[in-house]
Structure 1
Amino acid sequence: MSKYIPGNQKHLTLNDRIYIENELAKGTTFKDIAAFLCKDPTTISKEVRSHRVSDWYHKGTFYNAKNFCIHRYHCKKTNACGKILLCGIKCTSCPTCNQTCKDFEKERCKRLDKAPYVCNGCSKKINHCTIAHKYRYDARFADRKYRELLSDSRAGINMTKRQLHQKDQIITPLIEQGQSPYQILTNHPELEMSVRSMYTYIDKGLFTARNIDLKRQPKFKPRKCHKTQIKDRTVFINRTYADFRSLDIQAHSFVEMDTVKSSRDSQRTLLTMIFTEEKLFLAFLLNRCTKGAVRAVFDRLEKRMGTFEFISVFENILTDRGSEFSDPNALETGINGIERTNIYYCDPMRSGQKGTLEQAHTLLRMVLPKGTSFEFLTQWDLNLIVNHINSTPRAILNGRTPYNVALETLGEDVLKAFQLKPIAPDEVNLTPKLIRFNH
């Protein structure tokens, strides 16, 4: 029955195991349980046998866990061990009976040798069952054992100790000769491992060679962990870069969006945008780098421009996966409940997919170098910087400025809504003095 059963390729969940436990108590067959869970009956059988729990019951003479012999009820043997000359106690009451008697046969319930393999749902009450060794199926215990096995099976390396030693005898001497892992694997394909695997094994200390023996490894710092990325992956459905590329936007302008962080002593952030065809650059000051602050900028622009003008200008927006953009529905929905734009996300660690904006950031950093605090920066200062950037001629625009190109395509009303104005060519200043001497 295998792969043609819907859901049969999925692992059992805790709810599935609870259902199995409850149905076993009712005496339901494996076939009926499997049909309800959309599984093969053998899957249920293996699950029960693999994760059943052994129970021991200590009771009286004939119900105790010390005597498992099937003959203990009618056996009249005494002194089967031969250790005591005059022993009047029956062997069935002796703790050493099962170990010394030659006629010992272990009592076992047939229910445990075939389906359901456990005592769940047995009509015989536990207090009246003479089998001392019992099995039961517990859903939570089974799920915990499954999780432990799943974790352990993925731990360690896929290699025996002997194979590791053989590879070490080849790899370590060559690394000491100054060869790189790529060079070693190219000349020794019999090692059958990737370059990444070799670096991992060396980093874990599985080979005699260490990281310090590599030529370039000690020079690199560990990569920083991005803690501000979007954690909810459902927001990327139909909003990935592949979905963006599938749009017919080759002949139309779209907007790239990002944020620029301040120095560590300030929580203020710049929300930046650029129109890819006109190269028109925009920047907005955010007091906090949050999704609410980004939405406030969108709402403010929509009020200035009007909903339908906003829709025509900001039809498609491409941005990165920062947590400040983690609520695309709020950005896409206007103040009147009308869909005003479409948000798409770049692939992880692929800032080059919005390269036009990254190049514009180099112009911004000429005025606000890295490490500059935005704490005392105002939106008027930011507008001044943006005006000087948009008044800089671009070779890709045949020597024209982004402001003049946007004036023709977007119109004067849109530029006024953005609070933009042109700067005379000889007055354009892209140095920190633009803001420093303005106050």
Structure 2
Amino acid sequence: MSKYIPDNQKHLTLDDRIYNQNELSKGTSFKDIARFLCKDPTTISKEVKAHRLSDWYHKGTFYNAKNFCVHRYHCKKTNACGKILLCGIKCTSCPTCNQTCPDFEKERCNRLDKAPYVCNGCEKQISHCTIAHKYTYNARFADRKYRECLKEPRSGISMTRRELHQKDRIISPLIEQGQSPYQIITNHPELELSVRSIYTYLDMGILTARNIDLKRKVKFKPRKVHKTQISDRGVFQGRTYADFQQLGLASFMEMDTVHSASGSSKTLLTFFFTREKLFLAFLMNRNTEGAVRLVFDRLEKRFGTYDFQSLFEYILTDRGSEFGDPESLETGFTGIQRTSIYYCDPMRSGQKGGLEQAHTMLRMILPKKTNFEFLTQWDVNLIVSHINSTPRESLQGRTPYDVALETLGEETLKAFQLRRIAPDEVNLTPKLIRFNQ
């Protein structure tokens, strides 16, 4: 029945708990509270029982506050513990009465054993109640306990100390012998761990081995997180990598940018034909949405709308802010859709791995921390021509230029301002460009 109540599947909020506390103080039943909050009465009952606050010792209780035996009012026993031979003090006034008396019976209130399970709304005032064991419902305390329960399952590790010790006896000695986590997992499937889990445990410091014991871990700096990501998540609607995969394309275009060192705002807009392995790069004066659109418009005017559509029909790129306006890039200056843009998943540059590999070759000529301020498009065309004249194993030893010459045609390569470089003249070093870096 509860599934037919609107909003019944939602968690209780702090406001709901405050209302619950106020109504309990008025003596309202669980059924009436649940009807107002659109919940099942069982939900309210479980909430009160799970988050009620225990206060078994309260100052002002009748007789000894630490004695909660039901017989304490009429009991005349002395020396029930037998520790003192001559003891004239009544056991009801002794703190050890409840632990030593064989006739002890705990006093309980029937109100705590059935609804409402708490002292809220009781006719007796708590300060005048003689029962030592009390329960109250406090909305803010209940909400805090509820949030702690949400966090607790997501923290720590899901294994006992004994299990962790057994796994540590296998993992730590092998790491100290120079073995990698992948090697350990492959040879010891009984550990039932992933490679990522071992790295996590090493970072947490719960294993005997440490990060410094790994052969290559200390050689790498922490990866920098780019803060220039697209802030409007609505642009990804229908343009995610999952949407792109559903197209089942055998050939498409990959797009990205390469940044200059600090001191220059110039940026390279790069493209990669996945079938021909052809690499293109265009110099932009700044890394903005408008600068990217300017390159698209220039290429469309150079090739014409129809040829541009055939070359740049589908583009896969990352989530950089310079690509944050896909509609302006997809629509040409004639108002006709000229391309379709899709985005990789966050932190998954490998989804456009062909372009990333081409960037590796580009960085051989323009190493990181290179300033692009004095770079011209003529220099960029020369660099791209040398990269495209390098044989690729994936093309059975042929160069991207020769493959593109067959599939795209000589006129297209001339429009891209590319030329073939003789094999012995190919230079992939910083000496290629005419100015010193």
2:64·2:93 contact (CA, 8 Å) conserved in 1? no
**1:200 offset after TM fit, Å?**
4.4
**1:271 offset after TM fit, Å?**
2.9
| Deviation by residue 1:282-312 (Cα, 9 ceiling, x = unmatched) | 424253x4xxx12453267459958x94994
**1:343 offset after TM fit, Å?**
3.1
1:108·1:131 contact (CA, 8 Å) conserved in 2? no
1:281·1:360 contact (CA, 8 Å) conserved in 2? no
Q: Alpha carbons of 1:151 and 1:329: their partners in 2 closer, same or farther (altered >3 Å)?
A: farther
SS of residue paired to 1:281 = strand
User: Does residue 140 in structure 1 map to residue 140 in structure 2?
Assistant: yes
1:47 matched to which residue of 2?
Answer: 47
The amino acid that maps onto 2:53 is V
1:347 to 345, 349, 371: 345
1:80·1:97 contact (CA, 8 Å) conserved in 2? no
The amino acid that maps onto 2:370 is T
Separation of aligned partners in 1, 2:336 and 2:57: 69
1:283·1:383 contact (CA, 8 Å) conserved in 2? no
Structure 1 stretches of 5 or more lacking a match? none
**1:130 offset after TM fit, Å?**
3.4
Separation of aligned partners in 2, 1:312 and 1:65: 86
SS of residue paired to 1:238 = coil
SS of residue paired to 2:49 = helix
User: Does residue 395 in structure 1 map to residue 395 in structure 2?
Assistant: no
Greater CA drift, 147-156 or 332-341: 332-341
Q: Alpha carbons of 1:172 and 1:6: their partners in 2 closer, same or farther (altered >3 Å)?
A: farther
Aligned ranges for residues 54-73 of structure 1 at < 5 Å? 54=54
Percent same amino acid at aligned positions? 58
**1:374 offset after TM fit, Å?**
2.1
1:405 matched to which residue of 2?
Answer: 409
1:382 matched to which residue of 2?
Answer: 377
Separation of aligned partners in 2, 1:300 and 1:229: 20
Aligned ranges for residues 139-218 of structure 1 at < 5 Å? 139-171=139-171, 188-201=188-201, 204-210=204-210, 216-217=215-216
2:246 matched to which residue of 1?
Answer: 246
1:357 matched to which residue of 2?
Answer: 355
Separation of aligned partners in 2, 1:396 and 1:423: 11
**1:258 offset after TM fit, Å?**
0.8
| Deviation by residue 1:314-349 (Cα, 9 ceiling, x = unmatched) | 553311233544565676678999977543222345
1:228·1:323 contact (CA, 8 Å) conserved in 2? no
SS of residue paired to 2:257 = strand
Q: Alpha carbons of 1:117 and 1:179: their partners in 2 closer, same or farther (altered >3 Å)?
A: same
Q: Alpha carbons of 1:114 and 1:336: their partners in 2 closer, same or farther (altered >3 Å)?
A: farther
2:280 matched to which residue of 1?
Answer: 281
**1:49 offset after TM fit, Å?**
1.8
Separation of aligned partners in 2, 1:22 and 1:281: 69
Separation of aligned partners in 2, 1:337 and 1:53: 67
Separation of aligned partners in 2, 1:434 and 1:60: 91
Q: Alpha carbons of 1:164 and 1:357: their partners in 2 closer, same or farther (altered >3 Å)?
A: closer
**1:259 offset after TM fit, Å?**
1.4
**1:373 offset after TM fit, Å?**
0.8
SS of residue paired to 2:255 = strand
2:181·2:198 contact (CA, 8 Å) conserved in 1? yes
Aligned ranges for residues 29-108 of structure 1 at < 5 Å? 29-30=29-30, 41-54=41-54, 96=93, 108=108
Structure 2 stretches of 5 or more lacking a match? 81-85, 390-397
**1:262 offset after TM fit, Å?**
1.6
The amino acid that maps onto 1:297 is V
Q: Alpha carbons of 1:407 and 1:32: their partners in 2 closer, same or farther (altered >3 Å)?
A: farther
| Deviation by residue 1:375-399 (Cα, 9 ceiling, x = unmatched) | 344xxx1365237736966834645
Separation of aligned partners in 2, 1:395 and 1:148: 60
2:229·2:321 contact (CA, 8 Å) conserved in 1? yes
1:54·1:134 contact (CA, 8 Å) conserved in 2? yes
Q: TM-score, normalised on structure 1?
A: 0.65
Separation of aligned partners in 2, 1:425 and 1:329: 37
Q: Alpha carbons of 1:407 and 1:249: their partners in 2 closer, same or farther (altered >3 Å)?
A: farther
| Deviation by residue 1:99-144 (Cα, 9 ceiling, x = unmatched) | 6598987664433322232344x27485897367653333332232
Separation of aligned partners in 1, 2:330 and 2:130: 67
Separation of aligned partners in 2, 1:280 and 1:208: 48
2:119·2:136 contact (CA, 8 Å) conserved in 1? yes
Q: Alpha carbons of 1:157 and 1:2: their partners in 2 closer, same or farther (altered >3 Å)?
A: farther
2:393 matched to which residue of 1?
Answer: none
Q: Alpha carbons of 1:20 and 1:246: their partners in 2 closer, same or farther (altered >3 Å)?
A: farther
Q: TM-score, normalised on structure 2?
A: 0.65
Separation of aligned partners in 1, 2:42 and 2:255: 53
The amino acid that maps onto 1:111 is R
Separation of aligned partners in 2, 1:106 and 1:339: 81
Separation of aligned partners in 1, 2:353 and 2:115: 64
Separation of aligned partners in 2, 1:424 and 1:303: 23
2:129 matched to which residue of 1?
Answer: 130
Separation of aligned partners in 2, 1:337 and 1:57: 78
Q: Alpha carbons of 1:162 and 1:4: their partners in 2 closer, same or farther (altered >3 Å)?
A: farther
Q: Alpha carbons of 1:48 and 1:175: their partners in 2 closer, same or farther (altered >3 Å)?
A: same
Separation of aligned partners in 1, 2:328 and 2:144: 40
1:285·1:382 contact (CA, 8 Å) conserved in 2? no
Separation of aligned partners in 1, 2:275 and 2:142: 60
SS of residue paired to 1:271 = strand
Q: Alpha carbons of 1:145 and 1:353: their partners in 2 closer, same or farther (altered >3 Å)?
A: same
The amino acid that maps onto 2:381 is V
Q: Alpha carbons of 1:365 and 1:183: their partners in 2 closer, same or farther (altered >3 Å)?
A: closer
1:436 matched to which residue of 2?
Answer: 434
1:117 matched to which residue of 2?
Answer: 117
- CA RMSD after TM alignment: 5.5
The amino acid that maps onto 1:244 is F
